[in-house]
Amino acid sequence: MKFSKKDLIKLYTNLVRARTFDMLCTRLLAEGKFVSFYHEGAWGDAAGVGTATFLRKDDILYPHHRAHGFPHMIGKGVDPKYYLAEHCGRATGCCSGVGTVHALFEEYGILGQSAILGAQFTVSVGWGLAAKKNGTGQVVVASFGDGTLARGTWHEGANVAVLWKLPIVYVLENNGIAQYVSLEKAYPLKDMASLAAGYGMPAVVVDGQDIVAVAEAVGEAVKRARQGKGPTFVECKTIRVTSHGYGSPHMVDGEQRDMNMVEELKKREPLSMYEKNLLKQGIITKEDIEEIAKAAKEEAAAAEKFAMESPIQEDASILDQYLYAE
């Protein structure tokens, strides 16, 4: 799969925007402006942006909880200010300020999330079945982490997805850690792609720090799904350089994380690696980079202003409206 110059710049721009929002979210949480928590995603953000940037607007996306799905939603084309306002409990948020970390953007195929990890595996089967029956050509993309894959729902979903040849792309962002537990302590294998292969699902392992590799692999998987060839599993090897959630202990397997190792991981920072290649290939200039960074900062500042100036949601009956249909 080859990308045009425009596509490559779009990937870069979305990655810069996702990174800028990650920094903004971290700051707003630290300043006490969030009603929720925040799971930082910097350095592990290429997988989400690479996954979502070339999806169709009506494709269905279940974003990852890491970076609260900002990279995925920015990639999909969602205006992140409504999701930011949601985190701040504002009435202008995408769930009217009562959903905190939950995203809902129906017109962009983001149909809700659950705090219960692993829900994506089973709801995506329903969405995939609907897409197939309706003949819309829509594809369902479910993003999740290595810890999430340990849920039994994965096996239930994968089994039926293959059996019924559903148009689903499973994108694992394998950062080798789930909250405070390392992959080594959780699985007898390292490449989760083998689990998908066990169901006869085509599976591929890519460098999740290489945004082009992710976009290429997900692009091929989406193509298969649209052609009616069934589900695909894309395993992106990525990293987590922060603690699990902002302010939580930076521990693994009962001990402090080895910060020398974390520094080693940081060498694979995806934005600067991509930027270097784009410059070498003459696809962008230093001036383009400055311009993109400036635009992202302005977008983030405007989103912050929007959220802060929006009224705090104080009408509890909103919850009823979300819970009960007429």
Residues making contact with ligand TPP (CB under 6 A): 65-66, 115-118, 144-148, 175, 177-179, 240
**Is-contact 64 98, C-beta < 8 A?**
no
163 makes contact, choosing from ligand TPP, other proteins, Mg ion, none, with CB < 5 to 8 Å by partner type, with: none
Phi first, then psi, for residue 67 (nearest 5°) are: 55, 20
- Which residues 140-169 are close enough to bind Mg ion by CB under 5 A? 145-147
User: Is the distance from CB of 101 to CB of 68 less than 8 angstroms?
Assistant: yes
Site size for Mg ion (CB under 5 A): 5
| Whole-angstrom distance, CA of residue 318 vs CA of residue 314 | 9
Stretch touching other proteins by CB under 8 A, among 31-39, 78-86, 193-201, 293-301:
193-201
Instruction: Supply the minimum distance, in Å, between the C-beta of residue 50 and Mg ion.
Output: 17
197's contact among other proteins, ligand TPP, Mg ion, none, with CB below 5 to 8 A by partner kind, is other proteins
Choose from Mg ion, ligand TPP, other proteins, none: what does 65 bind? Cβ within 5-8 Å by kind. Answer: ligand TPP
Tell me which residue of 136, 122, 132 sits closest to 170, measured CA to CA. Answer: 122
The single residue among 212, 241, 271, 307 that binds other proteins, judged by CB under 8 A, is: 212
Q: Give the integer Cα–Cα distance in Å for 221 and 211.
A: 15
The DSSP call for residue 248 is S
| Angle between helices 286-309 and 270-280 in degrees, nearest 10 | 140
Q: Amino acid letter at 19?
A: R
The site for other proteins (CB under 8 A) is made up of: 1-3, 8, 189-191, 193-194, 196-197, 202-206, 210, 212-213, 215-217, 220-221, 224, 232, 235, 277, 280-283
